[in-house]
Structure 1
Amino acid sequence: MHSPGLRGATQACFEGCCPNPIFRVLELDQANVKNRSTSSTCRHDFAATTNSSFFPNTQFTNHESIPSLQESFVQFIKAYPKYSETAQVDQIRAHEYVHLSESNHVCLDYIGVGLFSESQSQSQYISTSAIASSSYPPSQKSDCPVFGITYKSVNLKSQLLHGGDGSKLESAIKKRIMDFLKISQNDYSMVFTANRSSAFKLVAESYPFQSSRKLLTVYDHENEALETMINTSEKRGASVMEAEFKWPRLRIHSAKLKKMIVRKKQQQKHRGLFVFPLQSRITGTNYYYQWMIMAQENGWHVLLDACALRPKDMDSFGFSLFHPDFLICSFYKVFGENPTGFGCLFVKKSAVPNLEASTGAGIVSLIPAKQLLRFPEDSSGTDTELEQISKLGTYPDGIDISSSLATSITEQNKQNRNSKEGDQKDAGLKENRLEDSEKGESNEKNKTVDELGSLNFECRCLDQVDSLGLRVISSRGRYLINWLVSALMKLQHPNRLDNASLVRIYGPKVKFDRGPALAFDIYDWKGEKVEPVLVQKLADRSNISLGNAVLNHIWFSEKYEEEKQRVMERNGKEREKKRTKSKKAEPGITVVTIALTFLANFEDVYRLWAFVAQFLDADFVEKERWRYTALNQNTIEV
């Protein structure tokens, strides 16, 4: 699957919107013209093959009649014979992410890139067990994080100018991430943030909106991180503008966006901040990055949101051609587990002097797991120690470090009161064990904090992605997401004269260069929408994790005015609260969402298809309600 950046570099302009396009010279090159023609043919052939190869001229009206996993896979391989060239991904998944098979869980609810493999994190858990063995119940030992975070009370501008590289652990991870993203440390400074929202808020708090007053965003969905930025920016005097997307394909309304970007002669030199994702993390729609070039040519500072990009997409983005002023991305720890991690905010060094002083809330430091657990087991549990513990954060899956450590200390104090003399002997034994453990940390498995900062520091998931390369990752994602789209479109309600589809897909359907995300809704036999939250809950009971979102900023032409009345939904109270003075939350469309990571396989997408097919049974939802009541003596919340 070609990335937005690669596609943009071979297409000089789009809909005549780009003044003085930097790639115009390429259009004069006959070789490039030929390449574009070949690419266009390839994309057309791909779509035709997808639509005709999977059980052609067949509609499925009964969930019991859909082909088996084995039958479907045979058809899938016939349509995409080159899928076998991605078998290395399956080998990595089998050896490094065993928990995905053992848990029988399909994870389709978040997108992005992990840092570590599951097997690597397990070895890290083992390396801390000598320290934590007596202080934690067995059920909590496996939840030991590879690292934790602590908040820093520091000004963003000062941190960028004088913060340095941080600890050796932070320096090692920072270097690995910048190498992975192909970002030069000579051109950009980086800070770790608590999450994606924190990174957006930091920019909003520091950007000079007093002199560059506008904020222009390009998102087809409600977005917590973006709403945080908008609200913060408005409080600092920014004027907010938002791009719109044409129904039904949800492409950018180019004429309107161009009008907002292009500067009139009498307007100030620096217009404001242009916030742009190269891909919708909800619908999978790709956007041309020439929009950012146009914005910079017209006096905008540009923030590139790279959180929705697939692994290795930055390889083809090409920082030699375009340098955004800000770049935000995020990394989680291990795929298939609670996606805790951190956000990354990159600021072009030439843009740092333009920033204003801010509180810097949201900047974090990374703390090795061993440091989190390095509390003597005979600790007296003083107020100072408990205060230190409270600052350490939480484990994955919501386990509170402060609570778990404090509980350990409380239990230890009880033992001290019950048998002081016995505890003194135990304390001596524990001290010896701790000393032995610390001595053992010098070997390869138990690296010290200093060793974590060495060149041997491993982010095995990033290493795996690098070894696979862009072609394998993008091709695999292209085959899986397009097969799923085609399969979902073949589900039709029975006994309907109008051939009513079970599923409505928003944004691109079968398309060569669509992203690995998908937004859809399910409609029952009466044509009524099944609430996405209910679909999400029922999927969870089938061990499938889905997401949900709200599409907005949708523009309807007069041709679709009647359809607009059917599909758009009014504001909910929670959505209404998110907006401040600029405008109230607009009507939107609630949708079910999925995202495929590079580790997704055919069984994952087949299981989702088989789950959705069950809604062809008119009584499926009601049966599930009764089954839930029988098992739990409770009714499912709708």
Structure 2
Amino acid sequence: MATLGQKHEASLVYSQGCCPTTFFSIPTISQSQITVSKPRSSTSECRHNFAATTASSIFPNTQFTNHESLPSLQESFTEFVRVYPQYSETEQVDLVRAEEYYHLSVSKYTCLDYIGIGLFSYYQLQRHDTLKTQIASSSIPQVPQYSEAPFFSISYKTGNLKTLLLHGGQESEFETTMRKKIMGFLNISDNDYFMVFTANRTAAFKLVAESYPFQSNRKLLTVYDYESEAVETMISCSERRGGRALSAEFSWPRLRIQSTKLRKMIEGKTKCKKKRGLFVFPLHSRVTGARYPYLWMSVAQENGWHVLIDACALSPKDTDSFGLCVFRPDFLICSFYKVFGENPSGFGCLFVKKSAISVLQASSCGGIVNLIPERRLFQVPEDSSGTQVDQKATSILQQELESLTSFSGRIESKKVEEGVLSKLQITERDEVKKRNTVENPERRKVPDDKNGSFDIECRCLDQVDSLGLTVINNRGRYLVNWLVNSLLKLKHPNTEGVPLVKIYGPKIRFDRGPALAFNVFDWKGSKVEPVLVQKLADRNNISLSYGFLHHLCFADKYVQEKGRVLQTKEGGVGKGVKMEKKKDGSQKLGITVVTAAIGFLANFEDIYKLWAFLARFLDADFVEKERWRYTTLNQKTIEI
């Protein structure tokens, strides 16, 4: 394992400004994993005090056994601010939400079903739709639409990853601008890394699996406490190409990494450190909210592993505390969504360290994409007739789509007329300038679009940059820990006091992530199916998701609990337990769970709504009442 000297060295690097944060923000390896004992530091003391204050100050000595006994939203918020007075320092987020993402409040819909970093604000989406409406109502002929998505669409490329990395590919001006914005946002230098656009997170994982030399570097070691489509795709590809998949295990019930077992897998049975394989490490669990010690990356690198960092579960500014300049992984994957809470589609980003390119093999694989800006469809000359405009725009569209068929194809920024914009574009740009200078002088202005060049205003990225790491992380920390504590206060009204909610993974902790995995239990102790909880939440205007926890390790003292949690009655599969077959025909067990993710724009009302909704399960007849209500709305059955 890493020594105290290595840990101190990393701390010094951070404090000296290599990355814009301090080591205080980074999860550290627990004392049980370090051979030298050390008194509790001021950092650990602060974290301990935070957890103790949360547990003792929020609804102290109180249990809620009836959803009607819950305090009101205003009463709860008053208590919340009393316990976390620093929350008022994050009010800038509320201002951004009200101005740029007003749909989150107007729609009364609480979005807690995905973690991601948005590119554009909802205000931009509305402005985009307004422009399309103006065009539709004008006399300008319509150009055939090849995407209903706002701002851009994607087009698949053919070729292989290594060829693209070695020889490059023609990149449109739009893509160049987007790439520079994202690399700047993530503090990644193009002197050290290449960036590739992929269709999604799964496509990025598959690209690496198809190109990595598993025939010689056979091992694939992953660290996931939940089932991931992207990781399963990578495992399948690696095994097909001669790889051997290994996985870290997680201790029940807190789901902490089994450090001894993981260390043995990393170090291997031999002292030879050459050609170990690929170590895939998520900085956070996007299901349980567990944060993992970053120094595992150094341990893997010191033992000859290539390292892939899955940064898709990071909060928007967590990259500032990651310290890419310290760990320098061979591969890094992240994803970006278009708009938060609306049309959450986008693309994935694969970063490959330039020194790691020689390791890859040339193999045919898909998933690499071009980004095509939708705004090109609206660029028309001022004085052209309708027929000319239609023919010109259609011709340009056809040429552009033809140029995006392969790496060798020429990809250019097409221009309708050099230096000329349509009246609609000028009107839109002037409206933005007026809004910037009159309504909000401090907002970043949109530069002139000269000579047909692209200027991409990624409003969400700009807002996150202005808010900063401290504000975003503190806000998420207060909200998720209040929610965890409040859920644990819900008890069924019987003599046993059966908890309504069981939380998997970290509970009240200073450094837990903004994701939460849990299950709801009835008064008999039987689990309510996660998919049913999700559907009922959706009918109450709350978006939740569900996942599958696996690779769980039970100590001897939890043997009986293991039987209740994972095993089934009479040797079968019980409710909530998912069985999967391994290659040798044996089966592994896992737990289906409800998941909630708290984004950077979430507010107290969002988490209160979730708490109040889950409290309704304290009513023993709640599910049956909802089923009856569902059938009265001309539905035959409730889908489970």
Over 3 Å counting, the alpha-carbon distance change for 1:565 and 1:576 in structure 2 is closer
Instruction: Tell me the alpha carbon deviations over residues 455-494 of structure 1, each in whole angstroms, 9 at most, x when there is no partner.
Output: x531110111110111101100000000000000000000
C-alpha separation between the residues in 2 aligned to 1:62 and 1:226? Answer: 41
The whole-number CA distance in structure 1 between the counterparts of 2:141 and 2:250 is 52
Counting only pairs closer than 5 Å after superposition, residues 259-270 of structure 1 correspond to structure 2 as 259-265=264-270, 267=272, 269-270=274-275
Q: Which residue of the partner structure matches residue 637 of structure 1? A: 639
**TM-score, normalised by the number of residues in structure 2:** 0.83
Per the alignment, residue 492 of structure 1 pairs with: 491
Q: CA–CA distance in 2 between the matches of 1:15 and 1:200?
A: 33
Aligned-residue offset at 1:56: 0.9
Which amino acid is the alignment partner of residue 254 of structure 1?
A: S
Structure 1 unaligned spans of 5+? 19-23, 28-32, 394-435
Change (3 A) 1:151 1:583: farther
Q: Which runs of 5+ in 2 are unaligned?
A: 1-13, 15-19, 381-385, 405-419, 431-446
Stretches of 4+ aligned residues off by more than 6 angstroms? 2-5, 134-137, 373-380, 383-393, 446-452, 570-580
Which residue matches 2:304? 299
| Letter paired with 1:523 | F
Q: Of 529, 532, 535, which residue of structure 2 is paired with 1:534?
A: 532
Amino acid at match of 2:600: F
Whole-Å separation in 1 of the counterparts to 2:316 and 2:368: 24
Q: 1:553 to 1:611 in 2, by over 3 A?
A: same
Contact 1:201 1:229 in 2 (8 A): yes
Aligned partner of 1:83 among 57, 67, 87? 87
CA contact (8 A) 1:569 1:588 kept: no
Distance 1:44 1:141 in 2: 54
- Residues 579 and 300 (structure 1 numbering): CA distance in 2 closer, same or farther, change over 3 Å? farther
In the other structure, the counterpart of 2:425 is 441
Aligned to 1:414: none
Question: Cα distance, 1:506 vs. partner?
Answer: 0.4
Q: Secondary structure at the match of 1:586?
A: strand
Q: Which residue of 1 aligns with 2:151?
A: 146
Query: What's the counterpart of residue 623 of structure 2?
Result: 621
Match of 1:94 among 79, 95, 98: 98
TM-score (ref. length: structure 1): 0.83
Residue type of the partner of 1:556? F
Residue 271 to residue 8, structure 1, CA distance change in 2 (3 Å): farther
Partner-residue secondary structure (3-state), 2:89? helix
Worse-matched range after superposition: 615-624 or 579-588: 579-588
Alignment partners' CA distance in 1, 2:578 and 2:518: 23
Pick closer, same or farther for the CA change 1:388–1:229 going to 2, 3 Å: farther
- Equivalence for 1:351: 356
What's 1:548 paired with? 546
User: What's the Cα RMSD here?
Assistant: 3.5
- 1:37 deviation in Å? 1.6
Q: 1:105 aligns with which of 101, 109, 117?
A: 109
Partner of 1:224: 229
Residues 520-572 of structure 1: per-residue CA shift (max 9 Å, x gap): 00000111100000000000000000010000000001111110111116779
* Shift in CA distance, 10/230, structure 1 to aligned 2, threshold 3 Å: closer
Relative distance call for 1:191 and 1:582 in structure 2 (3 A) is: farther
Counterparts of 2:578 and 2:336 in 1: how far apart (Å)? 30
- 2:560 aligns with one of 559, 562, 575: 562
Task: Give the C-alpha shift of residue 5 in structure 1.
Answer: 9.1
Greater CA drift, 155-164 or 211-220: 155-164
2-structure distance, mates of 1:207, 1:292 = 18
Aligned CA distance change for structure 1 residues 194 and 392 (closer, same or farther; 3 Å):
farther
1:182 counterpart = 2:181: no
Displacement of 1:450 after TM fit? 7.5
Alignment of 1:83-482 (within 5 A): 83-133=87-137, 144-164=149-169, 166-265=171-270, 267=272, 269-371=274-376, 438-441=422-425, 445=429, 454=454, 456-482=455-481
> Relative to 1, partners in 2 of residues 1:232 and 1:471: Cα closer, same or farther, differing over 3 Å?
same
Q: Indicate how the Cα distance of structure 1 residues 79 and 324 shifts in structure 2: closer, same or farther if over 3 A, else same.
A: same
Q: Which amino acid aligns with 1:557?
A: A
Specify the SS of the correspondent of 1:588: strand
Q: Distance in 2 between matches of 1:371 and 1:116?
A: 18
Q: Per-residue CA shift, 1:161-195, capped at 9, x if unaligned?
A: 22257111111111111111111110000000000
Residue identity (%): 60
How far is the alpha carbon of 1:210 from its aligned partner? 1.3
1: CA distance, partners of 2:111 / 2:210 = 34
CA distance in 2, matches of 1:492, 1:635: 29
SS in 1 for 2:171: coil
Residue 109 of structure 1 aligns to a residue whose secondary structure is coil
Q: 1:595-631 deviations in whole A, cap 9, x for unaligned?
A: 0111000000000000000000000000000000001
Instruction: Quote the offset at 1:270 in angstroms.
Output: 1.5
What's the CA shift for 1:154? 2.1
Deviation at 1:577, TM superposition (A): 10
Q: Report the counterpart of residue 591 of structure 1 in structure 2.
A: 593
Q: Deviations over 1:483-527 (max 9, x none)?
A: 0000000000002x2221000000111111100000000000111
